[in-house]
Amino acid sequence: MESFADIHADIERRLVEGARSRHSPCHQAVIATSDADARVMVLRAYDAASRTLRFHTDARSPKAALIGGGESGGAPVGVLFYDQAARIQLRCKGTGRIETSGPVADAAWAASTEFARRCYMGEGPGVPSATPTSGLPDWIEGQQPTEEQVAPARGNFAVLLVELASVDWLFLSNDGHRRAVIDMASGPDETVRGRWVTP
pLDDT per residue, tens digit, the chain (199 aa), is 789 999 999 999 999 999 999 999 999 999 999 999 999 999 999 999 999 999 999 999 999 999 998 676 789 999 999 999 999 999 999 999 999 999 999 999 999 999 999 999 999 999 999 999 988 888 888 888 999 999 999 999 999 999 999 999 999 998 899 999 999 988 665 688 999 999 9
Return the exposure string of 99-129: e unless at least 16 CB atoms fall within 10 Å of the residue's CB, then b. Answer: bbeeeebeebbeebebeebbbbbbbebeeee
- Identify the CATH number of the domain in which residue 188 sits: 2.30.110.10
pTM, 2 dp: 0.93
**Closest C-alpha among 142, 127, 110, 124 to residue 57:** 124
Question: CA separation (Å) from 41 to 25, 44, 65, 174?
Answer: 13, 9, 17, 30
107: left (phi over 0), alpha (psi -120 to 50) or beta: alpha
Expressed as residue numbers, the domain containing 60 is: 4-196
Secondary structure (3-state) at 138: helix
Tell me what pLDDT residue 189 has.
59
Residue ranges in 40-102 assigned as alpha helix (H): 62-67
List Cβ neighbours of 176 (8 Å cut-off, separation of 6 or more). Answer: none
Tell me what pLDDT residue 53 has.
98
Domain count, the chain: 1
**Closest C-alpha among 27, 33, 44, 19 to residue 68:** 33
Tell me what pLDDT residue 140 has.
85
**Closest C-alpha among 112, 102, 107, 98 to residue 158:** 98
**Closest C-alpha among 79, 89, 71, 55 to residue 158:** 55
Q: Count of CB atoms within 10 A of residue 151's CB?
A: 13
Tell me what pLDDT residue 70 has.
65
Tell me what pLDDT residue 178 has.
96
